[in-house]
Chain A
Amino acid sequence: MQVSRYWRMNAQRYMMANGGVATAEKEEEKTFTFSGRGTIYSYSTVYDAPAGFEAYKPYVVGLIKLDEGPMVTAQITDIDAKEVEIGMPVEMVTRKLRTEGDEGVIVYGYKFRPSVVV
């Protein structure tokens, strides 16, 4: 169990912000946080999950085109696999990604779900 591996990614995983710290030399490394909004570019349903993710199968993994431009890979949650469509507007949520057994840490991170109407 390497908790530091997860901890190092807190800002990125929890809120899609970079973890950069601005210094006099590196002013450009100020934190940037994505809005968390985007659309589904492509997706696939995982039936044979890798170790650590078995409890969630079947689940959908998507390529999300963020409103700001970049593409990220993430799980699509709160939806049945057959309802997922390319082009569907989605929003970022922070969810459980996996647990390190019954006694280890719970790892949280971003996933996307169909946008909920305000």
Chain B
Amino acid sequence: MTAFQRKNDLMKPDKPVGIVGYGAYVPRYRIPASEISRMWTGGEGGVPIKEKAVNGLDEDVVTMSIEASRNALDRAQIDPQDIRAVWVGSESHPYAVKPTSTMVAEAIGAVPNTQAADWEFACKAGTEAMQAAMGFVGSGMARYALSVGMDTAQGRPGDALEYTAAAGGAAVLVGPGEESAVQIHGSYSMVTDTPDFWRRAHAEYPSHGDRFTGEPAYFKHILGAAQYLMEAMGRTAADYQWAVFHQPNAKFPMRAAKQLGFTNEQIEPGLLSPRIGNTYSGSCMIGLTAILDVAQPGDRILMVSYGSGAGSDAFDLEVTEKINDIRDRATTTEAYISRRSEIDYATYTRFRDKLKM
């Protein structure tokens, strides 16, 4: 911890808060990495994942956030009128100006007595909305606050990121600790100005710093935030049943887990990137939903997001007995992942609006 001087303590609200409902969404279409490789490398060389999820022609971050949020509400079984904040974190909001969040709030019946806003911080926009929700609920300003991390990520044709830039995400409904299926014991954030990945205004595709995206970016922030949080909570990797990290590919989260002392078994249920790709703002949040679909009361979970630019949000979570009541009230993450239609590169270019007519 020498690189980061400890001046700010753990983020912990005055009143206990937790997750009262959660919901995932993954679109139906998959493009295998081998198909992208066939297009650009003649099928030669390795690929970072098996396949990635692709949104259909009539899907975007609004429609996908609506479905994930409805799943979260189905699990929580609360009156949507009791929600006081609807926040959507994404780097693929369909409008440059016009909030995604108001459309989601309208579609789930949360309007008009609610706050709403869109969040942006590359791939960690959803988890920072979760932290804000902790503050809203923990201070008593809101009984419930909804945080969504959702993306239809952009990958430049032929670029390394085209293999992984995927569509999907999750919604997390934060509420009072006593109603929660998952207690949020504390959170910690770490950010620096690190230019590893960006997209300028009006640019269609992002640019990145190639190998610069690893050590000084992903690993520095993920490991730094995770280590600080675990130390502040007085825990080690062995104290957690499960861990989930941001998943730009399959290799990075596995290596981060190993360096922090986690086993493959601890990260296996939440490691979805090999089968759906990198869902950007949704990545570690949908990994969390997959863990919650199998977790038992008493299980502790470490979740760490990563957003380019750069920063990480780490969360210390504990599953309560309420998980058994809410789990089966909505479609499981695995059911969405299993619902799979393979598409070829030509169909992919049409679905992703890469065909200009």
User: In the complex, which residue of chain B has the Cβ closest to the Cβ of A113?
Assistant: B28
Contact across chains for B60 and A106 when beta carbons are under 8 A apart: yes
Q: Is B336's CB within 8 Å of the partner chain A?
A: yes
The stretch among B262-270, B281-289, B324-332 that forms the contact with chain A is B324-332
Question: In whole angstroms, how far apart are the Cα atoms of A78 and B26 in the complex?
Answer: 12
B94 to chain A, nearest CB (A): 6
Known contacts A10-B106, A94-B107, A116 near B59 by CB under 8 Å: no
B107 near A15 with CB under 8 A, answer yes
* A:29-66 near B, CB below 8 Å: 33, 55-56
Is the CB–CB distance between B335 and A106 below 8 Å?
no
Chain A residues closer than 8 Å to B339, beta-carbon distance: 116
Q: Are A15 and B109 interface neighbours, CB within 8 A?
A: yes
Given A10-B106, A78-B28, A108–B56 Cβ distance below 8 Å? Answer: no
Contact A118 B56 (CB under 8 A): no
Residues on A with beta carbons closer than 8 Å to the beta carbon of B204: none
Q: Point out the residues of chain B lying under 8 angstroms from A93, CB to CB.
A: 63, 67
B-side contacts of A95, CB under 8 Å: 58-59, 63
**CB-defined contacts of A33 to chain B, threshold 8 Å:** 109
Which residues of B pack against A, CB within 8 Å? 28, 56-60, 62-63, 66-67, 94-95, 103, 106-109, 328-332, 335-336, 339, 341
| Closest chain A residue to B95, Cβ basis | A106
Q: Which residue of B has the minimal Cβ distance to A105?
A: B98
Q: Which residues 66-96 of A sit at the B interface, judged by CB distance below 8 A?
A: 75, 77-78, 80, 93-96
Residue of B28, B103, B329 touching A108 (CB-CB under 8 A): B103
Please tell me if the beta carbons of B67 and A94 are within 8 angstroms of each other in the complex.
yes
Check B58–A77 contact: CB distance below 8 A. Answer: yes
Number of interface residues of A (CB under 8 A): 23
List of A residues within 8 angstroms of B328 by Cβ: 118
Q: With contacts A10-B106, A78-B28, A106-B95 known, is A96 near B59, CB below 8 A?
A: yes
Minimal beta-carbon separation of A105 from chain B (angstroms): 8
CA distance A37 to B117 in the complex (A): 30
In the bound complex, do residue A94 and residue B109 qualify as a contact, i.e. CB atoms below 8 Å apart? no
Question: Which residues of A are interface residues toward B (Cβ below 8 A)?
Answer: 10-11, 14-15, 17, 33, 55-56, 75, 77-78, 80, 93-97, 106, 108, 111, 116-118
- With both chains docked as a complex, state the minimum distance between the C-beta of B293 and any C-beta of chain A, in angstroms: 11
State A108–B109 Cα separation when bound (angstroms): 15
Minimum distance in angstroms from B161 CB to a CB of chain A: 25
B107 near A78 with CB under 8 A, answer no
The minimal Cβ–Cβ distance linking A87 to chain B, given in whole angstroms, is 20
Find chain A residues with CB under 8 A from B109 CB: 15, 17, 33
The reply to whether B336 and A94 form a contact with Cβ atoms under 8 Å apart is no
CB-based contact A118/B63 at 8 Å: no
B118 to chain A, nearest CB (A): 15
Name 28 interchain pairs, CB-CB below 8 A, sorted by A: A10-B106, A14-B66, A14-B103, A14-B106, A15-B107, A33-B109, A75-B58, A77-B58, A78-B28, A78-B56, A93-B63, A93-B67, A94-B63, A96-B59, A96-B60, A106-B60, A106-B95, A108-B63, A108-B103, A108-B107, A116-B331, A116-B335, A116-B336, A117-B335, A118-B328, A118-B331, A118-B332, A118-B335
A96→B332 contact, CB < 8 A = no
Q: Which of the residues A80, A108, A111 comes within 8 Å of B62, measured between beta carbons?
A: A108
Known: A10-B106, A78-B56, A96-B58. A106 touches B94 (CB 8 A): yes
- Measured CA separation A22–B164 after assembly (Å): 49
B26 → chain A, closest Cβ, in Å?
A: 10
